[in-house]
Amino acid sequence: MNKTDIEKKHYQTFDKIKMIDDEGREFWTARGLSKILGYSEYRHFLPVVGKAKEAVENSQQTVTDHFEDFLDMVEIGSGAKRKLKNIRLSRYACYLIVQNADPGKSVVANGQTYFAIQTRRQELNDDEQFQKLKEEEKRLFLRNEVREHNKHLVKAAQVAGVETRIDFAIFQNHGYRGLYGGMDSKAIHKHKGLQKNQRILDSMGSTELAANLFRATQTEEKLKRDEIKGKRKANETHFEVGKKVRETIEELGGTMPEDLPTPEEDLKKLERRMKSGRKRSSTIKSV
């Protein structure tokens, strides 16, 4: 079984142990997740859960919204069952758990990508204000998010050893190649049929921008979390994160980034048009 097959199997496994309650809400159980993540004994998994709970507290969220203790009928061998303590986990709780689990296990690394993408997708789905935005407004919002997070990515890459502009251009292209199936920024630019002065990020729809935003945020986190050092390792990390995002999109049945439609109007023109419209509206109101 090759690496891609293993990753697909892991994603399917995380989906398989997902449960739905009577109100249609999805959840996972700590005992179920511990087995998938390769912990031979549940007691060895509990410290990881504890770290995840601390992360929730530090983010000033309510722990019980994401971790709910309950008694579960668990098979203890030879078909016998017994009531044992278990924890009902939200998707966000699972995300925090895999972030604190052993990164050396491939299933943990794939779980980090799986739950991070699922969590980000749900955040956007649950954000009523975001959902009310028109496509062009979503594009502007996400483009600004990408712009801001790219600044953080630059800083994280610099700490890792990516120092010059050329270094960063090479580093950035590794991320694009992973996400776009081998295409670098020039190839993406050509694929989209853009003019010389047009930027690829300004010529993306909201779905494509969201994928690139996720690539940037997760690469930044991984560079920091794993304390990556050296240009080569940083480049490899960016490529691997981009590749995992691509594979997860495929696993979820999504459209590959390079196959998404290119908006007719790039964001520079869109921003100018919207600013012009606001000025006209302001002038009319003042008359």
- Mind listing the pLDDT tens digit for each residue in 119-171? 666 666 555 555 556 787 788 888 888 988 899 999 999 999 999 999 999 99
Domain count, the chain: 2
Residues 179 and 71 in one domain: no
Give the model's pLDDT for residue 276: 61
Q: Which of 132, 115, 139, 92 is nearest to 36 (CA)?
A: 115
Give the model's pLDDT for residue 24: 84
Residues 134 and 97 in one domain: no
Report the 10 Å Cβ neighbour count for 160.
Answer: 22
141 close to 130: Cβ distance less than 8 angstroms: yes
Residues 217 and 90 in one domain: no
Residue 254 phi/psi, 5-degree rounding, is -85, 170
Residues 252 and 151 in one domain: yes
- Residue 246 belongs to what domain range? 127-263
235 close to 171: Cβ distance less than 8 angstroms: yes
Q: Is residue 159 included in any domain, yes or no?
A: yes
Give the model's pLDDT for residue 282: 44
Low-confidence residues of the chain: pLDDT under 70? 1-12, 76-78, 103-106, 108-114, 116-133, 274-287
Residues 239 and 166 in one domain: yes
Residues contacting residue 48 through CB under 8 Å, at least 6 positions apart: 97, 100, 101
Residues 245 and 153 in one domain: yes
Q: Which of 102, 119, 145 is the last residue of a domain?
A: 102
Residues 150 and 91 in one domain: no
Q: Is residue 275 included in any domain, yes or no?
A: no
Report the 10 Å Cβ neighbour count for 265.
Answer: 14
In whole angstroms, give the CA distance from residue 254 to residue 12. 15
Residues 81 and 173 in one domain: no
The pTM of the whole model exceeds 0.85? no
Give the model's pLDDT for residue 30: 93
Q: Is residue 73 included in any domain, yes or no?
A: yes
